[in-house]
Structure 1
């Protein structure tokens, strides 16, 4: 019982953050508060399975990013490099998953009128290049061919989206890319713990 007391302020803090987000979004858009906490499919009257594969790939990214962040936090590292690589890649993966779940990249102009979806992708690419190049030695000790396969699928999907072929294959390539990314991150977490 005594161990739960310090966590109560954390729970209250989370509730206050959610309240602040709701107040901000309501003030900025005028959207009803109930639309902020209800499922979008329920609001639209769609069945629960609409968009389920999109949501599941986002869950893959968020969960694998969290696993790598946990690895970073709990590892006993001989040097700072495995910690730094785990932290960078874990944060990048978690943010990409949250972005995918909330479709923030497609709503970039909401945050600033000059932002575009391509800017978000460039930031992700820059963070990935930084992580891989700065922690090159650690990266080469990971199962990086999985990441290469993930990036190839995501790049093909991104090109299909930007060129506007409208074939719908982008969504399936994203499933392939995020599945391989998930496996890379989890396998990296296991490899770094050894």
Structure 2
């Protein structure tokens, strides 16, 4: 009995320290990027670490909708991450949540670091239209592959999300002159993010009640 308890404690401690190390290694990556940029390119470290508005001396409300969008992207990704790790969920649902976590995280990083607006077109020579085409293709594959889960879930939220995203992309690709165009484009995008997050929250709760 005593030996069993000792062995159990030992295994738990191994798992605990393994998790501590894994979390540390994950957290140290962005810090290493800051250090690399500072010492190799002489970039002011504050440009990496401080808030953008603080650096630019801009009012707090600059980028408000974009920042809120990033928060809700992160909420959606967090919900999907939890869903992919709930032991009681069946494997199909867990796989769905895993891919949804990766997709939501990609969209989050796209928004935060301007992937399709700066990094891809400026540094990699990939136009926004091509990137949007990749997004559309990925979304179609995602919908076809997981259509049964989507249909059986709170699909109205998902359909509203796709609709609003589609309208935002359409306005971005097809130029037209109208007062407040940016409000319409980014407003549609924000609504898409909200319904995207709401869909995964509702689906997660439904699956949790079933378990």
TM-score strictly above 0.5: yes
> How far does residue 99 in structure 1 lie from its aligned partner after superposition?
1.6
Cα RMSD (Å) of the superposition?
Answer: 2.5
User: Is 1:140 aligned to 2:140, yes or no?
Assistant: no
Per-residue deviation at 1:94?
A: 2.3
Structure 2 unmatched runs, 5+ = 1-12
For 2:196, the equivalent position in structure 1 comes to 181
Residue 187 of structure 2 corresponds to 172
Structure whose CA Rg is larger: 2
* 1:135/1:57 CA distance change after superposition, 3 Å: same
Moved more, 155-164 or 9-18: 9-18
Q: 1:88 aligns with which of 91, 99, 102?
A: 99
Match in the other structure for 2:129: 118
**Alpha-carbon deviations, 1:115-152, whole Å to 9, x = none?**
12233323332332222211222221111121111111
Q: Residue by residue, what CA displacement relative to the aligned partner does 1:61-105 show, whole Å, maximum 9, x if unpaired?
A: 111121122111114234x32122111122211221222122222
- TM-score by length of structure 1 reads 0.84
SS at match of 1:73: coil
Q: How does 1:16-165 map to 2 (within 5 A)?
A: 16-22=28-34, 31-78=43-90, 80-107=91-118, 108-113=120-125, 115-165=126-176
For 2:93 and 2:19, how far apart are their aligned partners in 1?
A: 29
Query: Structure 1's 13 and 164: CA in aligned 2 closer, same or farther, altered over 3 A?
Result: same
What is the aligned residue count? 191
TM-score under structure 2 length normalisation: 0.78
